[in-house]
Amino acid sequence: MFITFEGIDFCGKSTQVELLQKFFINKGREVKVIREPGGTLISERIRDILLDRKNSEMKMETEFLLFSSSRAQLVREIIIPALEKNIVVISDRFHDSSTAYQGFGRGLDISKINVINSFAISNVIPDITFLIDISVEECLKRKALRSNIELDRIEISSNTFYQKVREGYLKLANEEKRFVVINGTQSIEKIHKIIIERISLIKKGLIDEN
């Protein structure tokens, strides 16, 4: 089973990924957790280039192709082999991030994004994608709470950019059945409960509810 988490920065994905990982481990399932960009040696090196604030001259086309390169490596080196071994794979971001951030956010042609996304992911489509939805105002509030940590190259983007990304995500979720949109301002526990319920629904045989 391949599960992905999406949403604008600070929406609470990583928190939920960690809880879901613990849930599967407690159920005796083998789980592989990955993050994007990153997850392999090569992909982590690409991540450093992408998020480094010194690279302010990076063009949006370059940015998109670097995210795609990182993903192409991750899919072939980690995701496909894990799924073949029946390991549950949970990814903190995947190709929808490129559609939302580089497509809707930066304004790159969505049809071109779709072609390159397909090439990078090699038909490895998530079984379920949780979109943790928060407003840009909530994102800013959470960002302010983390003022001790230096923001990366993408986190310093404008509110208008984040608004476009959020709207893009909601549009995608409306078009594709695999998405589950969750209000990210609910408590961490409540969101986790919703996630478990949805996974149980789609994969009855995978999770022993008793």
Cα torsion 209, 94, 134, 99 to 10°: value is -140
Decide: is 156 part of the binding site for ligand T5A (CB under 6 A): no
Instruction: For residue 91, report the phi and psi dihedrals to the nearest 5 degrees.
Output: -115, 125
Query: Taking CB under 6 A as the criterion, which residues in 5-24 touch ligand T5A?
Result: 7, 9-15
Decide: is 164 part of the binding site for ligand T5A (CB under 6 A): no
> Minimum distance between the CB of residue 1 and ligand T5A, rounded to whole angstroms?
20
How far apart CA 193 and CA 64 sit, in angstroms, is 34
Residue of 178, 163, 38 lying closest to 105 (CA atoms):
163
Please count the residues of this chain forming the interface with ligand T5A, following the rule CB under 6 A: 26
Query: Taking CB under 6 A as the criterion, which residues in 76-105 touch ligand T5A?
Result: 92-93, 97-98, 101-102
Query: Taking CB under 6 A as the criterion, which residues in 28-67 touch ligand T5A?
Result: 35-37, 67
**For ligand T5A, which is the closer residue by CB, 115 or 188?**
188
3-class DSSP state for residue 161?
A: helix
Decide: is 133 part of the binding site for ligand T5A (CB under 6 A): no
Helices (H) and strands (E) in the chain, counts: 9, 5
Decide: is 155 part of the binding site for ligand T5A (CB under 6 A): yes
